Amino acid sequence: MTSKFAGVVAALALALAACGSGGGGTTGNGAPSGPGTATTIEIGSLYEPQNLDNTAGGGQGVTEAFNGNVYEGLFRLTDAGKVENLLAEGYDVSGDGLTYTFKLRRGVTFHSGKALTAADVKASIERVLAEDSQSARKGNLKVIKSVEAPDDATVVVRLSSRSISLVYNLSYVWIVNPAAKDLATGEDGTGPYKLEAWKRGSTLSLRRFPGYWGARPANDGVVFHYFTEATALNNALLTGAVDVITSEQSPDALSQFTGNPDYRISEGHSTTKLLLAFNDRKAPFDKPLVRKAVASAIDDAKLLQSVWAGHGSLIGSMVPPTDPWYEDLTSLDPYDVELARKELAEAGYPKGFRFTLDTPNYDPHPTAATFIKGELAKVGITVDINVITADEWYTKVYKNRDFAATLQEHVNDRDVVWYGDPDFYWGYDDKQVTAWVKEAEQARTADEQTALLKKANRKIAEDAASDWLYLYPQIVVASSKLSGYPVNGLNSQFYAYGIKKS
């Protein structure tokens, strides 16, 4: 009897030890998980939503947590960058390109149980266009003249002019239940997950929605754990408190994971560009030759090496390789100090000049500013680094345009079109580029659009409208037990429904 009992104890101890060393057992933050219990994926991120509404300034964080997971659009932008039908089953375009008729998927319900109708889609699109909307896509959708819902399954959108990106832009419009109250702190979407709880400053948890119309997610829920410090985030992955990091921002930390079979590092395509944006309205940067000289005086490759230790890439323009109109333009303003000196002399600044560089106070901007200061000193340009907060940046640079040059990361894809807007903060004003960008949006075919935007991109690069220092890497680090997670995270999206833990 006693030996039997000892055997049971030993077996229990072994089982416990196995659980403990499994790493996926009880973690600091998460619920216990393992075979037999529901699987929850613990996701580590640096981007907590500001609030839960992308038309009320929710920011990058809410896109990451909610796009495709809690809310769905008529269309989905896949991690590979393709646009496919989601809540729309298909659509027709009128001959003049001004009327789009969308057929809605049937049998879709919101998390509250209400069935999706065309009226909801109409209200959702109008929400983005509303006067108080803070949606980043509002400008792109301004061409929408009216939205109608002739029957429950049909939505008709009329445009004031052709818009070839309409379907693409609609992939960012969440279809919400307009009857839902307070979408800034709650939700009512149609996605595979519903919001379980948002504990501000700490976690946001999503549970699988049993009434989801589409394929059942590969897990029962996900929890986003928010960190303010990259080191703390890496430690959480190292101790098994999280299973995956959506976007590694600390290249120094990668060595902890490389060569370790317990982790997998994926480098996908990012759309975030680091810009040295000139104020193109004001001397000395109103002269393209001066801007070109600055671009040629800075060794971007060395900067990228020092900030990202070999990850990331040089693009030489505003267009990342995932945009259809990408072209490698790094050769236009090559790193060439002699050329920079020559161009400066030709522009009337043989002895250089002095300017203030408004630098946001968060990484990697201060590092880049110091590097640029050193590089430009070699051609006689003195840089005064003025470190500012994100808030000051919006007031001083973005609204008041009171700056000579600034550093800023631009995160969205397809944003070369800002160079077609002379009112944008950098004030690049070229009639030809403005016309090309406008024509591209009204193009009849994607090829036509691509050709026009290629021309525009080449022109801004030739003019060195800004200096595009580099394209960020998009690095996802995950436990090797995990599969099915997105690696590109285009525009900070992070679809969680395919993630499996073995």
Using a 10 angstrom Cβ sphere, with 0-12 exposed, 13-18 middle and 19 or more buried, the burial of residue 225 is buried
User: Which is it for strands 244-245 and 474-479: parallel, antiparallel or unpaired?
Assistant: antiparallel
Q: Which of 145, 399, 402, 502 binds another protein (CB under 8 A)?
A: 399
Please state the closest distance from residue 352 (CB atom) to another protein, in A.
30
**Interaction of residue 319 with another protein, rule CB under 8 A:** no
Please state the closest distance from residue 496 (CB atom) to another protein, in A.
17
Q: Which of 199, 302, 354, 444 binds another protein (CB under 8 A)?
A: 199
Please state the closest distance from residue 197 (CB atom) to another protein, in A.
7
Contact region for another protein (CB under 8 A) — 2-10, 167-175, 220-228, 347-355? Answer: 220-228
Long-range contacts of 285-288 (CB under 8 A, 24+ apart): 285/355, 285/404, 285/405, 287/347, 288/462, 288/463, 288/464
Q: Which of 235, 330, 386, 434 binds another protein (CB under 8 A)?
A: 235
Q: What is the dihedral of CA 32, 36, 38, 41, to 10 degrees?
A: 60
Q: Which of 94, 112, 146, 239 binds another protein (CB under 8 A)?
A: 239
- Tell me the CA distances in angstroms from 86 to 66, 80, 89, 106, 351, one per residue in order: 15, 15, 7, 11, 59
Q: Would you give the binding string for another protein spanning residues 15-34, x where CB under 8 A is met?
A: -----------xxxxxx---
φ/ψ of 303, rounded to 5, equals: -60, -45
Return the bridge partners of 399, or none. none
- Cβ proximity to another protein: between 280 and 333 the closer is 280
**Binding positions for another protein, 416-475, rule CB under 8 A:** 418
User: Which is it for strands 467-471 and 354-360: parallel, antiparallel or unpaired?
Assistant: unpaired
Q: Would you give the binding string for another protein spanning residues 165-184, x where CB under 8 A is met?
A: -----------------x-x
Q: Which of 127, 194, 208, 225 binds another protein (CB under 8 A)?
A: 225
Q: What does the DSSP 8-state code read for residue 356?
A: E
- Cβ proximity to another protein: between 182 and 447 the closer is 182
- Cβ proximity to another protein: between 392 and 462 the closer is 392
User: Which is it for strands 382-388 and 75-77: parallel, antiparallel or unpaired?
Assistant: unpaired
- Tell me the CA distances in angstroms from 301 to 134, 296, 305, 308, 337, one per residue in order: 36, 12, 6, 10, 14
Q: What is the dihedral of CA 84, 51, 145, 324, to 10 degrees?
A: -40
For residue 226, count other CB atoms closer than 10 A to its CB: 20
Please state the closest distance from residue 260 (CB atom) to another protein, in A.
13
**Interaction of residue 223 with another protein, rule CB under 8 A:** yes
- Cβ proximity to another protein: between 184 and 301 the closer is 184
Q: Which of 200, 302, 354, 444 binds another protein (CB under 8 A)?
A: 200
The one-letter amino acid at 135: S
**Interaction of residue 390 with another protein, rule CB under 8 A:** yes
**Interaction of residue 236 with another protein, rule CB under 8 A:** yes
Please state the closest distance from residue 366 (CB atom) to another protein, in A.
16
Is the backbone peptide bond immediately before 284 cis, with ω within 30 degrees of 0? yes
Six token digits for residue 199:
């504990």
**C-alpha Rg value of the chain to the nearest Å:** 25
- Cβ proximity to another protein: between 134 and 356 the closer is 134
Distance CA 452, CA 438 (A): 9
Please state the closest distance from residue 411 (CB atom) to another protein, in A.
8
Distance CA 33, CA 28 (A): 12
Q: Which of 94, 161, 185, 480 binds another protein (CB under 8 A)?
A: 185
What are the DSSP E strand ranges found in 12-119? Answer: 40-45, 75-77, 83-85, 88-93, 99-104
- Cβ proximity to another protein: between 113 and 201 the closer is 201
**Interaction of residue 386 with another protein, rule CB under 8 A:** no
Q: Which of 85, 99, 109, 134 binds another protein (CB under 8 A)?
A: 134
Contact region for another protein (CB under 8 A) — 230-238, 306-314, 317-325, 333-341? Answer: 230-238
- Tell me the CA distances in angstroms from 164 to 98, 170, 297, 430, 438, one per residue in order: 10, 11, 38, 22, 11
Please state the closest distance from residue 236 (CB atom) to another protein, in A.
6
Distance CA 353, CA 457 (A): 28
Q: Which of 37, 106, 384, 394 binds another protein (CB under 8 A)?
A: 394
**Interaction of residue 271 with another protein, rule CB under 8 A:** no
- Cβ proximity to another protein: between 137 and 341 the closer is 137
Judge contact between 155 and 101, C-beta under 8 A.
Answer: yes
Binding stretches for another protein (CB under 8 A) = 26-31, 50-51, 53, 56-57, 59, 131-134, 136, 138-139, 182, 184-185, 197, 199-203, 205, 223, 225-229, 231-232, 235-236, 238-239, 241, 389-392, 394-395, 398-399, 408, 410-412, 415, 418
